[in-house]
């Protein structure tokens, strides 16, 4: 791939229930801000637009179609959509830019999860014949994974609580976070289990919201005269859907994607990891090969607020903005999809 | 093998797995305002601040310009048939019997059509440009739903020129 | 500049109302396996998999590609899932091609499917949504008024749609994979079939099918090693516009016009009727043939129906620009796959591998898909030569 400039990124606040706002109304403000930050007017000013969303979050077929409405797509635009987290929409944009068909792209993700019971809705991601009929929800499969790790001696419940305490603390400086504050490991461990061995705080909250990003070739970004971060590498891998065929305590797909994206080619100052459950951050940190000198989830991560279908892109955006602000020189971001970390994407970002 | 065993080996070609998911559906702020109007027997459109076209039902933004619509415009009960189809399939739970007419209707003052049922006329008399009006149900039955309008019916007005349907008039 | 890419393997299933003998995974694997076999390859030769299908609600599972990875030999590889409504089959092929055209991958597998028999697409398309009137009109009810407006503008005779419906079924009878096999269909039979959404009759509408379609797309170097003739991707384009906006031209959508112009420019086409040998165009309702003939520049505005009536698009009448030799969407419609089938059938033509529906000496062919309220378009042009 060629170097891609991330020029702007905006996400909405993570809120438990966006109330009367529909998806179009959630998307519009972040699109506006992301376009403004890149100094452009509308989707007409980029060569390609791609979004990520999931029909089932709002329970209607073709729910993504209305996502075109806020783009100002008259005259018609080059546009595509993935039924995945918008991090994969960014991947599609990277392909288009690398092949020379686009010099710039708008990428956005949106999800209003509050209308349904998200973990139950996600149970229908499982094998439709053997597993979905069991209504095994997304928290239960994560609990299976955590139990395996605890019983293996890979982690302790204290390790999990430490992840949560750090998330809440880091989120204090994140204006978009839904859950934040100072809470001690002891206090967390005193909480009752919710879905054993998980406590409620081990699970990410359900949030409504959207995010948007403008990317371009480095040449185009220079022409625009805006500061940017450089996407140096990005790759994604999937694993078996069959839990029995996987070692749930590891994430080989993350490991493979990290290798191919070039995580180890330099120091990792910051890693934004899409770990919807506390124990998964530990799995991912190991799979990404991160040491103690890497600051993990300075935003609080998705334990502080999880915009389904946008959280992956948000992780990349979080790192990009830290680079653009000059806080760091190099960082990585991760996105996941499916139950128990089945599919994973890794991106490497550096200063210009 | 006994017959019983052969029967047991019949291949399974399907299982029934009904999926029930409950959603607390939200219409959106713009549509919610529209539905509140309908609940009170009014058709409320919204005007695009950029191109000045009036949308009904408003869905939060002008899809052509990509900007939020805000200004509310009360529309007339009269509309023009932009196009139509005669449907020969029944609507579950609806007393209307096929064949019935579903029309794209542009209410006076709006610049976009919506679908609704056309009745009180012979299907073969329906034509593009035909003038119609909304027949509202009794006010006691009004809810936050377009079904408050039972159907549209023809009125005694000359047809609108096709080129004029939905066209933005200079204010 | 994009790298060259070519279709080196094509796999389809037989299209039919219900494939009770296979699961969803079995269905997609069958198409994928057929494509690999056609390309002389195995699962290990594939670098990435791109899956497309229409709304998840059609079968009731969410993001089914997560479950299909095992059946598609994708474990440890990149998997992407595209969803652009009815155009998805075409968009998915284009996204898969960009994996190779970017130079980032050498050889990818792309699969699209729909197993409509496992749920109820009509329900998913028009399930009652709160706050909007439930009219049970479905896709036919949405498109019929647009067709009526086309008829008004052009004064086309009432039987143009009947002619298209008959012609595509006769084409389909030459294609053993086609769902509807109606070798003896007559104009009268179509005309006498029940009216559904006037002016559309039952036989003027597409069937509801189970089926999958797969392609293997490779870079120039590997395509040269392919046992069968590659179909070179000479141009690929997508365009979108909103479903509803004030002043929208619905009969002849701008997105279709722009998309066609883009793909013709890439492929060096100036007169599509003359330069192309055949086309596989997404025509789920009969009247969309004359409408798309105009939208895609095969005929002047208002004149499309004349080509149809003259037999220009018919293989049996030895037309100069046969459309939908495979039988088209009117003969087989596994929704999510229907666009890719168009793209695949165009590739079969230029590979000279289209069996009884082959257009003699076809060198340049077009595949086309559209979706949503005729607002999402995906098109490609494939050729027997690289340029």
Distance to chain C for A77, nearest Cα, Å: 5
Q: Do C141 and B145 touch (CB under 8 A)?
A: no
A352 touches chain B (CB under 8 A): no
Host H or E run for residue A281: helix A278-287
Distance to chain A for C322, nearest Cα, Å: 28
Relative to beta strand A330-337, strand B78-87 is: unpaired
State the burial class of residue A343 (Cβ atoms within 10 Å of its Cβ: 0-12, 13-18, 19+). Answer: buried
Q: Is A156 helix (H, G, I), strand (E, B) or coil?
A: coil
Domain parsing of chain C, residue ranges: 5-121+208-224
Distance to chain C for B73, nearest Cα, Å: 15
Residues of A whose CB is below 8 A from B63:
68-70, 73-74
Backbone angles phi, psi at A18, to 5 degrees: -80, 10
Residues of A whose CB is below 8 A from C1:
100
CA dist., res. B162 & res. B164, Å (int): 5
Reduced 3-state DSSP string for chain C: CCCCEEEEEEEECCCECCCCCCCHHHHHHHHHHHHHHHHCCCHHHCCEEEEECCCHHHCCCCCCHHHHCCCCCCCCCCEEEECECECHHHHHHHHHHHHHHCCCCCEEEEEEEEEHHHCCHHHHHHCCCCCCCCCCCHHHHHHHHHHHHHHHHHCCCCCHHHHHHHHHHHHHCCCCCCCCCCCCCCHHHHHHCCEEEECEEHHHECCCCEEEEEEEEEEHHHHHCCCCCCEEEEEEEEEECCCCCCCCCCCCCHHHHHHHHHHHHHHCCCCHHHHCCEEECCCCECCHHHHHHHHCCCCCCCCHHHHHHHCCCCCCCCCCCCECCCCHHHHCCCHHHHHHHHHHHHHHHHHCCCHHHCCCCCCEEEEEEEECCCCEEEEEEEECCCC
Sheet holding B43-47, edge to edge: B54-55, B43-47, B72-75
ipTM of model: 0.97
Residues of C whose CB is below 8 A from A82:
80-83
How high is the pLDDT of residue B3? 53
Which of C2, C66, C78 is opposite residue A99, by nearest beta carbon? C2
Which of C145, C196, C246 is opposite residue B112, by nearest beta carbon? C246
B41 touches chain A (CB under 8 A): no
CA dist., res. A121 & res. A207, Å (int): 14
Q: Is B22 helix (H, G, I), strand (E, B) or coil?
A: coil
Contact between A232 and A348 under an 8 Å Cβ cutoff? The reply is yes
How high is the pLDDT of residue B171? 44
Is residue A298's pLDDT more than 70? yes
Contact between C282 and C370 under an 8 Å Cβ cutoff? The reply is yes
Distance to chain A for B14, nearest Cα, Å: 9
B23 touches chain A (CB under 8 A): yes
Chain B nearest-CA residue for C131: B145
CB-side exposure of A323: number of CA atoms within 13 Å?
32
Q: What is the pLDDT along chain C (387 residues), one digit of tens a residue?
A: 699 999 999 999 999 999 999 999 999 999 999 999 999 999 999 999 999 998 888 888 899 999 999 999 999 999 999 999 999 999 999 999 999 999 999 999 999 999 988 876 655 655 555 556 566 567 888 899 999 999 999 999 999 999 999 999 999 999 999 999 999 999 999 999 999 999 999 999 999 999 999 999 999 999 999 999 999 999 999 999 999 899 999 999 999 999 999 999 999 999 999 999 999 999 999 999 999 999 999 999 999 999 999 999 999 999 999 999 999 999 999 999 999 999 999 999 999 999 999 999 999 999 999 998 899 999 999 999 999
Architecture of domain C5-121+208-224: 3-Layer(aba) Sandwich (3.40)
Chain B nearest-CA residue for A26: B28
Q: Do C148 and B117 touch (CB under 8 A)?
A: no
Domain parsing of chain B, residue ranges: 29-157
Chain C nearest-CA residue for A256: C76
CA dist., res. A179 & res. A168, Å (int): 6
Instruction: Give A302's DSSP letter.
Output: G
Mean pLDDT of chain A: 96
* Ordered domains of chain A (ranges, CATH): 4-117+206-230 (3.40.47.10), 135-201+233-347 (3.40.47.10)
**Cβ of A280: how many Cβ atoms within 10 Å?**
27
Written as one string, the DSSP assignment of A132-152 is GGGT--HHHHHHHHHHHHHHH
Q: Is A106 helix (H, G, I), strand (E, B) or coil?
A: strand
What pLDDT, in 10s, does the model give residues A243-279? 999 999 999 999 999 999 999 999 999 999 999 999 9
How high is the pLDDT of residue C122? 58
Whose CA is closest to C104, among C84, C80, C87? C80
Instruction: Give B97's DSSP letter.
Output: P
Please, which residues bridge with residue B135 across strands?
Answer: B151
Chains touching chain B at 3 or more Cβ pairs under 8 angstroms? A, C
Q: Residue B143 has which token pair?
A: 């809810």
What pLDDT, in 10s, does the model give residues C289-334? 999 999 999 999 999 999 999 999 999 999 999 999 999 999 999 9
Residues of C whose CB is below 8 A from A73:
240-242
Residues of C whose CB is below 8 A from B28:
none
Q: Residue C260 has which token pair?
A: 């066609």
Interface of A with B in 34-93 (CB under 8 A): 42-43, 56, 58-59, 66, 68-74
How high is the pLDDT of residue C139? 80
Backbone angles phi, psi at C321, to 5 degrees: -140, 75
For the CA atoms of C317, C323, C328, C331, what is the dihedral angle to 10 degrees?
-20
Residues of B whose CB is below 8 A from A56:
21
How high is the pLDDT of residue A62? 75
Q: Strands of chain A (E only): list them.
A: 4-11, 48-52, 79-82, 104-112, 193-195, 198-199, 208-217, 229-238, 270-272, 295-296, 330-337, 343-351
What pLDDT, in 10s, does the model give residues B117-134? 999 999 999 999 999 999
**Cβ of B74: how many Cβ atoms within 10 Å?**
10
Host H or E run for residue B78: strand B78-87
Torsion region of B62: left, alpha or beta (phi above 0 gives left; psi -120 to 50 gives alpha):
beta
CA dist., res. A117 & res. A115, Å (int): 7
A137 touches chain C (CB under 8 A): no
Q: Is B150 helix (H, G, I), strand (E, B) or coil?
A: strand
Residues of A whose CB is below 8 A from C79:
236, 238, 343
What pLDDT, in 10s, does the model give residues A58-116? 887 777 888 899 999 999 999 999 999 999 999 999 999 999 999 999 999 999 999 99
Q: Residue C315 has which token pair?
A: 């293989």
How high is the pLDDT of residue A148? 97
Q: Do B145 and C131 touch (CB under 8 A)?
A: yes
Whose CA is closest to B127, among A167, C198, A347? C198
Tell me which of B87, B98, B130, B134 to substitute to probe the interface with C (most C C-beta atoms closer than 10 Å). B87
Chains touching chain A at 3 or more Cβ pairs under 8 angstroms? B, C
Contact between A6 and A320 under an 8 Å Cβ cutoff? The reply is yes
Contact between C7 and C214 under an 8 Å Cβ cutoff? The reply is no
Contact between A284 and A296 under an 8 Å Cβ cutoff? The reply is no
Block means of pLDDT (10 residues each) for chain B, length 171 residues?
60 83 86 94 96 92 92 96 92 80 95 93 95 97 92 96 84 44
Q: Do C125 and A61 touch (CB under 8 A)?
A: yes
pTM of the model: 0.96
What pLDDT, in 10s, does the model give residues C182-211? 999 999 999 999 999 999 999 999 999 999
Is residue A197's pLDDT more than 50? yes
Residues of C whose CB is below 8 A from B128:
148-149, 152
Whose CA is closest to A337, among C100, B98, C81, C317? C81
Which of B22, B31, B65 is opposite residue A116, by nearest beta carbon? B22
* Alpha carbon of residue C46 to chain centroid: 24
How high is the pLDDT of residue A157? 98
Contact between A304 and A203 under an 8 Å Cβ cutoff? The reply is no
CA dist., res. C48 & res. C66, Å (int): 14
Between chain B and chain C, the number of residue pairs with CB atoms below 8 A apart is 114
Which of A76, A235, A252 is opposite residue C240, by nearest beta carbon? A76
Query: Which positions ≥6 away from C360 have C-beta within 8 Å?
Result: none
Contact between A121 and A334 under an 8 Å Cβ cutoff? The reply is no
CA dist., res. B15 & res. A131, Å (int): 13
Written as one string, the DSSP assignment of A3-53 is -EEEEEEEEPPPBS--TT--HHHHHHHHHHHHHHHHT--SGGGSSEEEEE-
How high is the pLDDT of residue C138? 73
Interface of B with C in 62-121 (CB under 8 A): 62-64, 82-94, 99, 102-104, 111-112, 115-117
Distance to chain C for A174, nearest Cα, Å: 31
How high is the pLDDT of residue B1? 45
Chains touching chain C at 3 or more Cβ pairs under 8 angstroms? A, B
B25 touches chain A (CB under 8 A): yes
Q: Do A92 and C254 touch (CB under 8 A)?
A: no
Q: Do A337 and C259 touch (CB under 8 A)?
A: no
For the CA atoms of C88, C94, C96, C99, what is the dihedral angle to 10 degrees?
-140
Distance to chain A for B130, nearest Cα, Å: 29
């Amino acid at each position: 791939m060629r170097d891609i400039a991330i020029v702007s990124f905006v996400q909405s606040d993570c809120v438990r229930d966006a109330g009367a706002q529909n998806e179009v109304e959630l998307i519009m403000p972040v699109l506006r801000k992301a376009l403004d930050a890149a100094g452009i007017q509308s989707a007409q000013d980029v060569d390609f637009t791609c979004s990520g969303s999931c029909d089932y979050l709002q329970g209607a077929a073709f729910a993504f179609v209305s996502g075109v409405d806020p783009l100002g797509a008259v005259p018609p635009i080059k546009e595509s959509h993935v039924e995945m987290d918008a991090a994969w929409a960014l991947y599609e944009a990277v392909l288009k830019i690398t092949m020379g068909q686009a010099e710039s792209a708008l990428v956005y993700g949106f999800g209003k999860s509050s209308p349904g019971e998200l973990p139950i809705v996600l149970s229908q991601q499982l094998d439709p014949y053997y597993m979905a009929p069991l209504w095994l929800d997304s928290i239960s499969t994560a609990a299976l994974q955590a139990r395996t790790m605890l019983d293996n001696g890979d982690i302790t419940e204290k390790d999990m609580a430490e992840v949560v305490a750090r998330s809440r603390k880091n989120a204090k400086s994140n204006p978009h976070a839904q859950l934040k504050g100072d809470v001690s490991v002891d206090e967390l461990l005193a909480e009752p289990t919710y879905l054993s061995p998980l406590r409620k705080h081990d699970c990410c909250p359900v949030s409504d919201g959207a995010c948007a990003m403008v990317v371009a070739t480095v040449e185009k970004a220079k022409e625009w005269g805006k500061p940017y971060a450089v996407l140096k590498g990005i790759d994604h891998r999937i694993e078996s859907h069959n839990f029995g065929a996987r070692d749930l305590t590891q994430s080989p797909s993350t490991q493979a994607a990290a290798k191919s994206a070039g995580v180890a080619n330099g120091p990792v100052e910051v890693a934004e990891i899409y770990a919807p459950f506390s124990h998964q951050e530990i799995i991912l940190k190991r799979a990404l090969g991160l040491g103690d000198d890497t600051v993990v989830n300075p935003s609080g991560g998705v334990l502080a607020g999880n915009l389904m279908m946008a959280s992956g892109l948000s992780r990349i955006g979080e790192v990009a903005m830290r680079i653009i602000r000059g806080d760091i020189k190099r960082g990585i971001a991760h996105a996941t999809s499916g139950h128990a970390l089945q599919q994973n994407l890794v991106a490497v970002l550096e200063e210009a | 093998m006994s017959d019983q065993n052969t029967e047991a080996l019949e291949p399974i070609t399907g299982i029934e797995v009904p999926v029930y998911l409950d959603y607390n559906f939200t219409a959106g702020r713009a549509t919610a305002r529209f539905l509140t109007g309908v609940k009170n027997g009014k058709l409320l459109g919204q005007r695009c601040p950029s191109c000045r076209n009036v949308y009904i039902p408003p869905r939060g933004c002008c899809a052509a310009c990509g900007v939020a619509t805000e200004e509310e415009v009360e529309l007339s009960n009269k509309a023009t048939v932009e196009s139509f189809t005669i449907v020969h399939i029944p609507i579950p739970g609806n007393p209307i019997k096929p064949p019935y007419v579903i029309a794209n209707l542009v209410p006076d003052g709006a610049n976009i059509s919506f679908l609704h049922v056309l009745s009180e006329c012979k299907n073969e008399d329906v034509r593009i440009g035909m003038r119609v009006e909304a027949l509202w149900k009794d006010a006691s039955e009004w809810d936050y739903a377009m079904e408050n309008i039972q159907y549209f019916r023809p009125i005694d007005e000359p047809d609108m020129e096709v080129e004029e349907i939905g066209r933005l008039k200079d204010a | 500049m994009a790298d060259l890419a070519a279709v080196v393997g094509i796999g389809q299933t037989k299209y039919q109302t219900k494939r009770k003998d296979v699961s969803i995974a079995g269905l997609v694997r069958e198409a994928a396996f057929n494509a690999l076999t056609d390309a002389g390859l195995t699962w290990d030769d594939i670098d990435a998999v791109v899956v497309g299908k229409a709304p998840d609600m059609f079968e009731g599972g969410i993001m089914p590609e997560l479950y299909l990875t095992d059946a598609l030999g994708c474990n440890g590889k990149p998997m992407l899932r595209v969803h652009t409504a009815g155009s998805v089959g075409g968009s998915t092929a284009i996204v898969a091609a960009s994996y190779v055209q970017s130079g980032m991958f050498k050889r990818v597998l792309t699969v699209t499917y729909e197993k409509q028999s496992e749920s109820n697409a009509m329900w998913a398309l028009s399930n009652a949504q709160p706050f909007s009137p439930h009219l049970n009109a479905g896709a036919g009810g949405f498109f019929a008024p647009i067709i009526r407006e086309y008829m008004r503008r052009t004064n086309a005779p009432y039987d143009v749609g009947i002619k298209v419906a008959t012609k595509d079924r006769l084409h389909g009878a030459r294609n053993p994979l086609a769902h509807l096999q109606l070798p003896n269909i007559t104009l009268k039979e179509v005309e006498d079939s029940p009216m559904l959404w006037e002016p559309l009759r039952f036989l003027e509408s597409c069937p509801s099918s189970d089926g999958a379609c797969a392609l293997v797309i490779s870079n120039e170097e590997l395509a040269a090693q392919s046992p069968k003739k590659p179909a070179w991707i000479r141009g690929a384009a997508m365009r979108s516009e909103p479903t509803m906006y004030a002043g929208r031209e619905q009969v002849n959508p701008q997105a279709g016009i722009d998309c066609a112009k883009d793909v013709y420019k890439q492929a060096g086409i100036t007169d599509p009727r003359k330069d192309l040998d055949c086309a596989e165009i997404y025509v789920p309702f009969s009247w969309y043939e004359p409408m798309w003939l105009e939208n895609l520049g095969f005929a002047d505005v208002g004149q499309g129906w004349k080509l149809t009536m003259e037999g220009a698009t018919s293989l049996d009448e030895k037309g100069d620009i046969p459309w939908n030799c495979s039988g088209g969407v009117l003969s087989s419609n596994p929704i999510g796959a229907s666009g890719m089938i168009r793209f695949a059938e165009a590739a079969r033509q230029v590979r000279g591998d289209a069996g009884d529906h082959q257009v003699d000496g076809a060198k340049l062919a077009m595949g086309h898909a559209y979706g949503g309220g005729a607002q999402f378009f995906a098109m490609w042009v494939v050729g027997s030569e690289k340029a």
